[in-house]
């Protein structure tokens, strides 16, 4: 197959980790006889430095001619004092909004070789295999009106039926392709948006009789995520609850540098990026863990290109390299062998070859 991919390295460790993922994609292309056309564009701080715009027209144009987007990370101290329209994060919000990428998908899976670095007891963390499906373009972070004065502030939490229906459908479909369990998370005892959310989930469940559905309140979900995380399969929730729960879930496996994510829409087009940020403290030192970005590329192969075998090959290579005792500096594992970004990536490429 022939596919076009826009690569947005971004800032901080972004260029180092995307380069690793690109090498993996090139190796996959060779081994499975695909052609991946790669185009590099600017976003975030790198774009602000170049043309004073965190999401240049040129970047949008190239992305819209692509089958998928691979992103590193944006932001860093260099731009922290910039006025709000010249902030790197603006580029990320704008690209999600521009392409209508309403579904943020974050798988969290325990990796046996890394269990010692989890803050949870081994028995609690070891069987975790869940996916958080977070609504990404509506809710409290986007609804109008908003205002702030010296002694008053207002934010609005609004959701339309259409916005809820499409994210709920996405989640039911993911649940169906996995263990068939869906937890819909809301605050329906207090919020009207949550009451509508629950009604729509109840309507939608008729179409997915094979999926076991449970409604949960966000507060008790936050507790259960720590006490019994392996009980979850797929979790679907609105924007802010999903923001908080997905950060909570990301620490369970003890390794921020391992977690991939995708921001997508119905047709699978989307932005594939690591959960971690630009890690300015280690940028440019060839120390970053590229696994999250490599696993995001695997998600791209699976979700955007329907290349299941290729995706599984990448994941297996990553896990084999870890199981053989090869780690990057961020992973706290006793008796580990610490490799640089490029050395660790080379091991993965060897596995793939
Ligand atoms: P952002 O605001 O962009 O999310 P952040 O400061 O919240 O940034 P990260 O940039 O993800 O979070 O970094 C948090 C810590 O984790 C930093 O100390 C960073 O060095 C470390 N870290 C994050 N990602 C990686 C990685 N891929 N490899 C090694 N260390 C990492
Ligand atoms: Mg952060």
ipTM for this model: 0.94
Q: Does residue 215 sit in the same domain as residue 301?
A: no
pLDDT at 335 over 80: no
Read off the pLDDT of each residue in 316-340 and give the average, rounded to a whole number.
89
Query: What pLDDT is stored for residue 253 in this prediction?
Result: 85
| 104 CA to centre of ligand 1 in angstroms | 19
With beta carbons less than 8 A apart as the criterion, state whether 73 and 11 touch. yes
Q: Does residue 143 sit in the same domain as residue 78?
A: no
Ligand-binding annotation for 80, yes or no, is yes
pLDDT at 332 over 80: no
pLDDT at 328 over 90: yes
Question: For the chain, how many structural domains are there in total?
Answer: 2
Rounded percentage of the chain residues whose pLDDT exceeds 70:
100
Which of 77, 70, 57 shows the shortest CA–CA distance to 12?
77
Read off the pLDDT of each residue in 81-97 and give the average, rounded to a whole number.
94
Question: Which CATH number covers residue 302?
Answer: 3.40.718.10
Query: What pLDDT is stored for residue 117 in this prediction?
Result: 85
Q: Does residue 247 sit in the same domain as residue 150?
A: yes
In a domain, 19, yes or no: yes
Of all ligands present, the nearest one to the C-alpha of 13 is: 1
Residues with Cβ within 8 Å of 7's Cβ and at least 6 positions away in sequence, in order, are 18, 22, 38, 39, 40, 41, 69, 70
In a domain, 124, yes or no: no
| Most ligand 1 atoms within 8 A of CB, residue of 17, 276, 292, 341 to mutate | 276
Which domain, by its residues, includes 1? 1-102+259-353
Residues with Cβ within 8 Å of 301's Cβ and at least 6 positions away in sequence, in order, are 25, 28, 307, 310, 311, 314
pLDDT at 222 over 80: yes
pLDDT at 220 over 90: yes
Query: What pLDDT is stored for residue 308 in this prediction?
Result: 96
Contact 282 CB / ligand 1 (< 6 Å) = yes
Q: Does residue 161 sit in the same domain as residue 51?
A: no
Q: What is the mean pLDDT of the chain?
A: 96
Among 232, 251, 270, where does a domain finish? 251
Which tens digit of pLDDT belongs to each residue from 156-185?
Answer: 999 999 999 999 999 999 999 999 999 999
Closest atom of ligand 1 to 282 CA is: 20
pLDDT at 231 over 90: yes
231 CB-side CA count, 13 A:
12
Q: Does residue 241 sit in the same domain as residue 319?
A: no
Ligand-binding annotation for 96, yes or no, is yes
């Amino acid at each position: 197959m022939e596919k076009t991919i826009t690569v947005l390295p971004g800032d901080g460790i972004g260029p180092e980790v995307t380069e690793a993922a690109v090498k993996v994609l090139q190796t996959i292309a060779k081994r499975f006889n695909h052609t991946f056309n790669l185009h590099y564009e600017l976003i975030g701080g790198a774009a602000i430095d170049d043309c004073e715009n965190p999401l240049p027209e040129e970047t949008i144009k190239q992305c819209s001619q692509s089958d998928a987007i691979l992103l590193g990370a944006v932001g860093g101290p260099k731009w922290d004092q910039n006025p709000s329209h010249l902030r790197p994060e603006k580029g990320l919000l704008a690209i999600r909004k521009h392409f209508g990428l309403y579904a943020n998908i974050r798988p969290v899976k325990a990796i046996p070789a890394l269990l010692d670095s989890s803050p949870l007891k081994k028995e609690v963390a070891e069987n975790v295999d869940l996916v958080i499906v977070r609504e990404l373009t509506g809710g409290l972070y986007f609804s109008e009106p908003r205002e702030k004065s010296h002694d008053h502030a207002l934010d609005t939490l609004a959701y339309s039926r259409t916005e809820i229906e499409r994210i709920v459908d996405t989640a039911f479909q993911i649940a169906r392709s996995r263990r068939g369990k869906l937890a819909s998370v809301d605050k329906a005892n207090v919020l009207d948006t949550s009451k509508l959310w629950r009604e729509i989930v109840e309507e939608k469940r008729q179409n997915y009789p094979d999926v076991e559905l449970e409604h949960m309140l966000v507060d008790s979900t936050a507790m259960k995520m720590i006490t019994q995380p392996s009980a979850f399969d797929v979790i679907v929730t609105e924007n802010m609850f999903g923001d908080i729960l997905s950060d909570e879930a990301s620490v369970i496996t003890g390794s921020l540098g391992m977690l991939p994510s995708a921001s997508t829409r119905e047709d699978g087009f989307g932005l594939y990026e690591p959960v971690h940020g630009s890690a300015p403290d280690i940028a440019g030192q060839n120390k970053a863990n590229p696994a999250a970005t490599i696993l995001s590329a695997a998600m791209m192969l699976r979700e955007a290109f329907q290349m299941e075998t290729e995706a599984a090959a990448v994941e297996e290579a990553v896990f084999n390299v870890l199981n053989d005792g090869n780690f990057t500096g961020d992973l706290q594992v006793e008796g580990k062998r610490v490799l640089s970004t490029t050395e660790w990536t080379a091991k993965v490429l060897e596995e793939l070859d």
